[in-house]
A and B are shown apart, each in its own frame.
Chain A
Amino acid sequence: MSGAAEVEGLLRELAPRVLGVLVRRYGQFDLCEDAVQEALLAAAVQWPADGVPERPWGWLVTVASRRMTDQVRGESARRRREEAVATASPADEWVAPGADADLPAAADDTLTLLFLCCHPALSPPSQVALTLRAVGGLTTAQVARAFLVPEATMAQRISRAKQTIKAAGARFAMPPPPERAERLRVVLQVLYLIFNEGYTASSGPDLQRADLTTEAIRLARELHRLLPGDGEVAGLLALLLLTDARRPARSRPDGSLVPLAEQDRSRWDAAAIAEGVALISSALARTPVGPYQLQAAIAAVHDEAARAADTDWPQILVLYELLGRLDPSPVVTLNHAVALAMVRGPRAGLDLLATLDGDARLAGHHRLDAVRAHLLELAGDPAAAREHYRAAARRTTSLPEQRYLEGRAARLG
């Protein structure tokens, strides 16, 4: 007997390898992906009750292959669904010699699948949904719960995404070398999006979504294992670890947010910080610097300060200056302004913020008001700070952020 959680972990690990074998055998990514999903569902029902088969990977390949054969024979979708749950254990029937010997080669399938699921023809939400199901091995129901949408809606998104990939003529193959860097950038962005979906939801009624941070870290770890020499992959993994390390301290049991400066740092995850710092230090020493490495380095400087007052703000400022040159964005400027305020005083930070006024990308965005309020508070202008905290509170669509911002405004009288 194995626990359901243990089985689920195993299935998530095996999912991309089973899918890789099927796609190489049958082509037709969209149908293979459905077949693997059905095999995973069957295993999730049977394995916790009957025990994990001796060759779990072979079991899944066999069941998924049967689904494929059924599909090719044109059996009705209804019958496939019914059978998915009722499939008898085929472990003993799996007799193909040396089947599991495919496993090492199959590791590369994970990378090919990541590139396919993060195809540029797809919108970011579709890339995220498809990656979680096809590479992460999550069920449609789990992905739907994580994004708080009905299962039918998520099923539709995934099916649409597969049609889009097919229509774009994408093949199950590594992108050609000239495109690889750009395609990898999209993969990293998708993993970062998955992480953020979970990270913003790490408390209260949203614990289900918090699982996404674990999943994003797992996938980033897998990607780092496959591409150990890529500095940005290492940078992303480090960034996720160093950010997630603060999770136990970033919200109170009632779900309210604790700002970085007020967090109980003894609750930070020291092991995750140590791993993240080692990863980023090694990447910075070995590879060309990139945006994820710089963000990880900034997170590392924060995480290494025993008290908020010990934070090495001059170092953070230098890193934001670099990031602003390498990968400029209004959000980077916002954070840069905070670092500048901490080093050269709040007025210097406010001057930099002023350069964002009229930037259409931030127009009406609550974070501009929130940062301005914070800097005005530091500058000793409570009346103006209160006004901007209130404007930010009205604009945000996040309940805990709103509560936090209203609290700051109220504190200023």
Chain B
Amino acid sequence: MKYVVLIYSNPATWRALPPGEADRVVKVHNDLIDELTASGEFLSIYRLADATNARTVAARDGVPVVTDGPFGESKEVLASLWEIDVDSMDRAVEIAGALTPHATVEVRALMDAAGLEM
């Protein structure tokens, strides 16, 4: 089963971390990527640039209108996106659990183009 793991974090929280803590969290992430690569569960990762660089595009009166910043009002913004291929949702949640320091993680199943006859 393929899933994306969406890691949301608050840049202000991240900036206020005590010395060394950010490095520790980055190491946790990198070690996990190594582990998932070795087990054949890792597919890809996207690390998102700061939301300062985001544009949100939405239609207004049928015309696309561009605003600066990410979608939504939340202080927590999408920071990175991992694509994994694992046996079960339980395994995906276990992986997500390791990413929760200073972040909230959403696990979403990906749709498959294949299906069974019903």
Contact = CB atoms under 8 A, between A and B. Distances in A.
A67 interface: no
A143 B52 CA distance: 41
Given A156-B38, A397-B1, A200 B115 contact: yes
A148 B116 CA distance: 18
B51 interface: no
Interface stretch (B24-32, B39-47, B62-70, B94-102): B39-47
A400 B113 contact: yes
Interface in A132-146: none
Interface in A391-406: 396-402, 404-405
Contact of B112 (A156, A257, A398): A398
Interface in A196-222: 200-201, 204-206, 209
Contact of A201 (B37, B111, B113): B113
The 5 closest A-B CB pairs, nearest first, are A157-B40, A398-B115, A201-B114, A400-B115, A200-B114
Nearest to A205: B113
Contacts of B1: 397
Given A160-B39, A200-B116, A398-B116, A153 B111 contact: no
B117 A153 contact: no
Interface in A376-413: 396-402, 404-405
A165 to B, nearest CB: 14
Given A153-B41, A200-B112, A400-B113, 13 more contacts: A147-B85, A150-B44, A153-B40, A153-B42, A153-B43, A156-B38, A157-B39, A157-B40, A200-B115, A204-B113, A209-B114, A396-B115, A399-B113
B44 to A, nearest CB: 7
Given A150-B43, A154-B40, A398 B117 contact: no
Interface of A: 123-126, 147-150, 153-154, 156-158, 160, 200-201, 204-206, 209, 246, 250-251, 255, 257-260, 370, 374, 396-402, 404-405
Contacts of A206: 113-114
B110 interface: yes
B109 A397 contact: yes
B114 A260 contact: no
Contacts of B87: 123-125
Given A200-B116, A370-B118, A404-B118, A398 B40 contact: no
Contacts of A154: 40
Nearest to B85: A149
A163 B112 CA distance: 30
Contacts of B113: 201, 204-206, 255, 398-400
B111 A397 contact: yes
B39 to A, nearest CB: 6
Contacts of A404: 115, 118
A123 B44 CA distance: 22
Nearest to A129: B40
B80 to A, nearest CB: 18
B111 A399 contact: yes
A398 B114 contact: yes
A393 to B, nearest CB: 11
A39 B116 CA distance: 37
Contacts of B85: 147, 149, 153
A374 B118 CA distance: 10
A334 B80 CA distance: 40
